[in-house]
């Protein structure tokens, strides 16, 4: 029986859409750049088919080329989609409530961030009721190399991805304490991985310190970070350490809301 042209076109379109979603899902789940051959093998599809899908997804911004242009990474449109999904109504309200409760417990401003390319993206934050505080709006970006969340994301990612990303960084000096050397940042990442948390010791803004912990998904992959920050006059190293149990507990509650 012949399939009408319109129905055949719909079937082809549905098949292409399903394959595109599978490709994006595979790349996101792997959490690293992947070559055309790796994608084809992972999807069990011919290279020619995967090449066509990649070309379409590059055009729409859902895929991007890595530094090594033979490899693909998630693109800005897919990251935006992920952020919008994380920020959808009910779930966003529940996450905001976790963040607000954390601020009440530790008494300082707390934020919820994710990795966006080579920068940290603020998904949510709750301000402490102090006259002296730093305001960074939701949607703001901050550097990787000199923030508690940024260094945490670097420390928790696969080694190959971390090497590639650190090699791309410009290391602008933000304060006298900013790490501006790749080797120093690598050593700091090793310490963070051992400790399970990260600190900003006035590296981003003079007079401001922070501590961050990972928010992991069901597979143990760090998808976001929770951080508390405050001025050195209030948030001493001892106070930051004392806040860690509350941060880890809140991160556990956040994990269920990813």
What integer pLDDT is reported at residue 31 of this predicted model? 76
**119-126 and 109-116 strand pairing:** antiparallel
User: Residues in the chain with pLDDT < 50?
Assistant: 1-13
Per-residue pLDDT tens digits for 168-200: 899 999 999 999 999 999 999 999 999 999 999
* Interatomic CA distance for residues 61 and 15, integer angstroms: 20
Please state the three-class secondary structure of 91-125 as a single string.
HHHHHHHHHHHHHHHHCCEEEEEEEECCEEEEEEE
Contacts of 81 (CB under 8 A, 6+ apart): 62
Q: Which fold has domain 5-74?
A: Arc Repressor Mutant, subunit A (1.10.10)
What integer pLDDT is reported at residue 132 of this predicted model? 55
Which CATH architecture best describes the domain 87-255?
A: 2-Layer Sandwich (3.30)
What integer pLDDT is reported at residue 102 of this predicted model? 97
Contact criterion met (CB below 8 Å) for 171 and 182 = yes
What integer pLDDT is reported at residue 145 of this predicted model? 97
What integer pLDDT is reported at residue 133 of this predicted model? 54
Contacts of 199 (CB under 8 A, 6+ apart): 148, 209, 210, 211, 212, 240
What integer pLDDT is reported at residue 82 of this predicted model? 73
What integer pLDDT is reported at residue 158 of this predicted model? 92
Give this prediction's pTM: 0.70
Return the domain boundaries, the chain: 5-74, 87-255
* Interatomic CA distance for residues 123 and 95, integer angstroms: 10
């Amino acid at each position: 029986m012949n399939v009408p042209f319109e129905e055949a076109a719909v079937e082809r379109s549905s098949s292409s859409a399903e394959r595109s979603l599978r490709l994006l899902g595979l790349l996101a789940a792997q959490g690293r750049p992947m070559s055309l051959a790796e994608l084809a093998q992972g999807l069990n599809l011919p290279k020619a088919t995967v090449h066509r899908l990649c070309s379409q997804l590059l055009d729409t911004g859902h895929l991007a080329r890595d530094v090594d242009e033979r490899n693909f990474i998630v693109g800005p449109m897919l990251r935006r989609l992920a952020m919008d999904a994380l920020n959808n109504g009910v779930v966003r309200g529940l996450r905001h409530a976790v963040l607000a409760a954390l601020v009440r417990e530790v008494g300082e401003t707390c934020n919820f961030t994710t990795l966006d390319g080579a920068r940290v993206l603020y998904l949510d934050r709750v301000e402490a009721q102090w006259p002296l505080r730093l305001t960074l709006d939701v949607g703001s970006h901050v550097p990787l190399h000199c923030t508690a969340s940024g260094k945490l994301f670097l420390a928790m990612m696969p080694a190959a991805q971390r090497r590639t990303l650190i090699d791309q960084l410009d290391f602008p000096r933000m304060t006298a304490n900013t790490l501006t050397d790749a080797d120093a940042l690598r050593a700091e990442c090793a310490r963070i991985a051992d400790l399970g948390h990260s600190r900003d010791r006035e590296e981003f803004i003079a007079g401001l310190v922070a501590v961050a912990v990972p928010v992991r998904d069901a597979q143990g992959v760090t998808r976001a970070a929770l951080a508390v920050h405050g001025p050195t006059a209030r948030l001493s190293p001892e106070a930051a350490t004392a806040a860690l149990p509350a941060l880890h507990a809140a991160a556990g509650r956040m994990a269920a809301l990813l």
